[in-house]
Amino acid sequence: MAKRHFVPKAGVEYTKADFTSDQMVKWCPGCGDHAILSSLLSTFPKTGHKKENICMVSGIGCSSRIPYYVDTYGFHSIHGRACAIATGVKLANPELSVWVNMGDGDSMAIGGNHLIHAVRRNQDFNITIFNNEIYGLTKGQYSPTTKFGQVTKTSPFGTIDYPFNPGELVMGAQGTFFARSLDCVPALTSQVMEAAAKHDGTSVVEVLQNCMIFNDKTHAAITDRAVRDDRTIVLENGKPMIFGKEKNKGIRFNGRCLEAVTIGENGITMDDIMIHHEDTEDTGIHMMLARMSGDLPVALGVIRNVEKPSYTELYENQMDECKANCKYKCVDDLLNSGDTWEV
Amino acid sequence: MSKEQIVNKDDLVVRFAGDSGDGMQLSGTLFSDASALTGNDIATFPDYPAEIRAPHNTIAGVSGYQVHVGNHIYSSGDKCDILVAMNPASFKSNLKWAKKGASVIVDIDTFTDEAMEKAGYKENPFTDEMERAYTIIKAPISSFTARIGQEQGADKKTADKCRNMFALGIIFFMTHKKLDQTFAYLERKFAKKPDVIKLNKAVLSEGYEYADKLEVIHSHIFEVAHAEMPKGRYRNITGNVATAWGLLAASERSGRRLFLGSYPITPATDVMVELSKHKGLGARVFQAEDEIAGVCSAIGASYAGALACTSTSGPGLSLKSEALGLAVMTELPLVVVDVQRGGPSTGLPTKTEQSDLNQALYGRNGEAPLIVVAASSSANCFYWAYTAAKLALEHMTPVILLTDGYLGNGSQLFRIPKVADLPSITPRLAKPNDPDYRPFRRDPETFAREWALPGMEGLRHRVGGLEKCPDGPLSTDPENHALMTYNRQEKVNRVANYIPEQEVTGNPDADLLVVGWGGTAGAITLAVEELNNEGKKVAYTHFNYICPLPKNTGDILRKYKKIVVCELNNGQFAGYLRTQFPECPMQQYNKIMGLPFEVGELKECFTKILGE
């Protein structure tokens, strides 16, 4: 069956300003959320979707305030439930372009169940996870992504919780799209959000975001300008996995695991460097890429982008088929079906 | 067979009991369907364990199905006139449901030493005293069925599955009914398995003929009076199916897509199972990952413009509490069906109770009023589901519909309405590009806000759990919170202007007023009717609109010297009434046994109060 698209296109060209709401943005000055909002606002015009058909859904947390700052329809719901609410929005009206925004606690602690099930079903909406590795709105408790051993208000002796890596959750739940960006690189954030919008099915974009009040510089080890090029790699589909200030480092698979190598050293040539294929169906390599840290650069860009019929498409196809084959034209037919008799 | 042998009766109760998997639910359904088709009024009540297949031949594994047939049936009946017990365990656990003098049919082949020991019998279960109290028919059901199976070349397992047909054949003979109806059913059900049809038919006929040959049975043939019912087309329906169909009708009549987001839970699952069959009629069913996702997906669907529903039972309603507060705050239409069961916690999953009332009324944080209505018969679940949807869509609020396991699984005759004859439903949709649209602008009469759907031009707005001001933006202003709290309450209070007045039945001039609500109407109606027929004076009022109450509730309650509130909980509705009408002294009759009321116990209670 041919691929179906449900969200109507706008007849007009929008600009970022068309999506900027009149509400005062109330995040702390310097918060990474400002940059993510800006990236999101500049993504909408590129989707070409009708403004009235865009619906923002969020849970609770600093990031979940976003619907107020976007001039579309929006639902600022309750803690952890954004994916469940978005599921209903999209099922009730597949013509809506649905965007879900969540923090790390919202999406992976209280809302963890809804996240993995949305991803498993390949629900057709776009999820952005603002990952600052802390509960900010409640003022600094450790979250499911806080680094092991970190001292926070509720872990004064260091956490003994092993953290989640959102990418691994997405792959584990058979996700079809996962990308990662940094709040301090808005152009990359916009770029992956645009790819996410084009993807049919659940897209998950993780943005490593800085909370300067309660977890300042948590991502500094990879985001600082001095080290960023050596500590991160921006993956591009069909291109070799090259990184580093000098563009002379690469990722190779040594038969057992991924390793970072320097081209020209120890006999390493470009031929040893892996090519990124975002559309490989098997999650194995994507899982390894999403997990890279420590000696390996943190992977950014679109890590996984696989085609698979979305829940929306499967659902609408089934609805159409059932309607076409239904023996009842209306509820009266149903009420009078089977064994009935006249008195 | 001569006419003199037939006992004419206004009503008859038959109870089928056996091991889970013995097909007792099916025997009961086939008997009730055949009775309905031959002109009886009916009500049924399945009584089954939580275990799908508990250990064979144990008391824990006994499954029962009671059928009440007659000329005017309100409930599934107290005790039975005929009991079928397919093994020692079902005989032991169900004999207490048989009237003194009842006919009891047992499969005597199953009364082996081992099975009797498993059932807890130390000696012969058929004592002389018991034989005097009941007519016990020891039918060799297993061996007869096995013989027919052998003759037809069926394996033992297949033949064993037909034992229920033998028992059903006996019952058909005893109730003076023909087999055609059931033959037709078997032909439909096993259309692709002619061997199975042949075997089942043969066993059913053999049971019928066996009964004909038994002298003792000839003095126990019952002719049950035909029902005098209003003209119309009828069908048999369970409460859960009626609920599902009521929602479908409301969707069609309101022009809003039907969405159901639910998670499987006993005894509510069949509402979702039924709607899942009707995608062809536009039912958008979503089986969620948990109860919370069930209600949250429904709230999302409501925001997007659907007639959104979620179905659950007690523990599930607890899980949905926070989301219900969100629906109250966002003032979105939502229907929550709670098929109540015994609680708290997992409680008695397969047994009935009315103990979720307080949870429905008060189980949310903050001041979070919503509408609560309750169905009072299996068949009228259709109308109450429809009404719940109408109130939700017209008053822009969540509505909790309380049914219960007894109504949901029980069945009754349903007079089929025409959808066009049902009350109209007018959702409060906003007009696209209305320059004056404000998210919380209210209708001056109902206080309901307007519903602006994503996709509509010129009405972009945000909703959410945070307090808003009438124009839409967030507000933490103290006066605004007081105003919005008042408005949300007033909106629910004003529903009382749109519902009918409460009625009193029985003898309105009595000293005693019996008060009931929800699924207990059948037994209470009969108890009150019988007492009035016996010359006593009893008035009765039964509530379906729980919150808000009909406007004349206080006037009714204040008229009576004595009031007794009957409910299957510890007095939740009585407590609710007392807070609103403290001037009215109320007695209580409560039952918390996971079982419906019996007419006998109610009559005893009312008679005692009358004599005080």
Question: What averages of pLDDT result for each successive group of 10 residues across chain B (612 residues)?
Answer: 70 94 90 89 85 83 93 90 96 94 96 94 91 94 95 91 95 93 90 93 96 87 89 94 98 98 97 98 98 98 98 98 98 98 95 97 98 97 98 98 96 96 98 97 98 97 96 94 98 98 96 97 96 97 98 98 98 98 97 94 97 92
Of A72, A75, A334, the CB nearest to B460: A72
Q: Is some CB atom of chain A closer than 8 A to the CB atom of B303?
A: yes
| Domains of chain B with CATH codes | 3-224 (3.40.920.10), 235-421 (3.40.50.970), 505-611 (3.40.50.920)
Chain A residue closest in CA terms to B252: A331
Distance from CA of B300 to the nearest CA of A (A): 4
Residue A88 to residue B299, Cβ atoms within 8 A: yes
Chain B residue closest in CA terms to A74: B462
Residue B296 to residue A88, Cβ atoms within 8 A: yes
Of A71, A77, A95, the CB nearest to B464: A77
Distance from CA of A268 to the nearest CA of B (A): 49
What pLDDT sits at residue B1?
A: 45
Residue B281 to residue A331, Cβ atoms within 8 A: yes
Q: Which tokens hold the place of B139?
A: 């039918």
Q: Cα separation of B251 and B458, whole Å?
A: 26
Name the one residue in this structure whose structure tokens are 């000098």: A246
As to burial, measured by CB atoms within 10 angstroms (0-12 exposed, 13-18 middle, 19+ buried), residue B246 is buried
Distance from CA of A123 to the nearest CA of B (A): 12
| Domains of chain A with CATH codes | 16-218+310-332 (3.40.50.970)
As to burial, measured by CB atoms within 10 angstroms (0-12 exposed, 13-18 middle, 19+ buried), residue A343 is middle
ipTM over 0.90: yes
Q: Which tokens hold the place of B370?
A: 């919503």
- Whether pTM > 0.90 for this model: the answer is yes
Chain A residue closest in CA terms to B235: A340
Interface test with A, best of B289, B414, B457 (most A CBs within 10 A): B289
Start-end of H helices in B444-500: 478-493
The candidate with the shortest Cα–Cα distance to B453, out of A73, A9, A10, A125, is: A73
Start-end of H helices in B494-598: 521-533, 553-558, 572-580
Distance from CA of A115 to the nearest CA of B (A): 10
What pLDDT sits at residue A1?
A: 59
What pLDDT sits at residue B215?
A: 86
Chain B residue closest in CA terms to A22: B473
Distance from CA of A23 to the nearest CA of B (A): 8
Distance from CA of B521 to the nearest CA of A (A): 24
What pLDDT sits at residue A339?
A: 85
Of B282, B301, B463, the CB nearest to A91: B301
Residue B231 to residue A343, Cβ atoms within 8 A: yes
Strands A232-235 and A203-208: unpaired
Residue A91 to residue B286, Cβ atoms within 8 A: yes
Chain B residue closest in CA terms to A119: B289
Q: Which residues of chain A have pLDDT under 50?
A: none
The candidate with the shortest Cα–Cα distance to A58, out of B449, B303, B441, B263, is: B303
